[in-house]
Amino acid sequence: MQNNYQSSFCYASVSKRFIAYFIDLICIAFLSWLIYFIFQIFSFFIGILGWADFISRNWYFFVFPIVILVSYFYFTLFPSSSFSSTLGQLLLKIKQVDQNGNSLTFGKANIKFFATILSKIFYIGYIFVFFNVYHQTFHEMLTNTYLVER
């Protein structure tokens, strides 16, 4: 059922969504690399029990948790802020809103982040975008959120 707020939305196109997500992935990769690099420099200067050497040899044990944490904070803090968008969405002039057109709360952004795990199973949840009049993914349908033009 569609209310008055939903009928006034101009939904973001699939191509804009894809480009924004690609930009977001680049931002997450850069931030994760930066945090790993700072952590490695910090451990080198402290030099406790050869941490710098251990981190260099076992970098994959450190990078994966860093990427997960950066992704979590990136996809929950930005949409629930006054921007209502991630950096990629901000550049493409789209924002995330709830069914009433309001910015997402931190709680709703959290639920949406964890619901993306369901969408990422074989990426089936992302295919919904092509068959939905609102261009919603599965996790957006679960949380009643939309990507709309600014």
Report the pLDDT value the prediction gives residue 6, as an integer from 0 to 100. 62
Q: What is the mean pLDDT of residues 34-44?
A: 84
Q: How confident is the model at residue 1 (pLDDT cuts 50, 70, 90)?
A: very low
DSSP assignments along the chain, one per residue: ---HHHHT--BPPHHHHHHHHHHHHHHHHHHHHHHHHHHHHHHHHH-GGGHHHHHHHTHHHHHHHHHHHHHHHHHHHTTTSTT-S-HHHHHTTEEEEETTSPBPPHHHHHHHHHHHHHHTSTTHHHHGGGG-TT---HHHHHHTEEEEE-
Q: What is the mean pLDDT of residues 95-103?
A: 93
Residue-level length of the chain? 150
Q: How confident is the model at residue 44 (pLDDT cuts 50, 70, 90)?
A: confident
118 vs 52, higher pLDDT: 118
Report the pLDDT value the prediction gives residue 43, as an integer from 0 to 100. 75
- How far is Cα of residue 143 from the mean position of the Cα atoms in its chain? 15
Q: How confident is the model at residue 26 (pLDDT cuts 50, 70, 90)?
A: very high
The gap between the terminal CA atoms of the chain, to the nearest Å, is 23
- Mind listing the pLDDT tens digit for each residue in 106-125? 999 999 999 998 898 888 89
In terms of Cα–Cα distance, which of 79, 95, 145 is closest to 115?
145
Proportion of the chain above pLDDT 90, given as a percent = 66
CA atoms of 97 and 39, how far apart (whole Å): 35
Report the pLDDT value the prediction gives residue 54, as an integer from 0 to 100. 75
Map out the domains of the chain as residue ranges. 4-149
Report the pLDDT value the prediction gives residue 90, as an integer from 0 to 100. 97
Q: What is the mean pLDDT of residues 52-72?
A: 85
Task: Yes or no: say if 104 and 79 are a contact pair by the CB < 8 Å rule.
Answer: yes
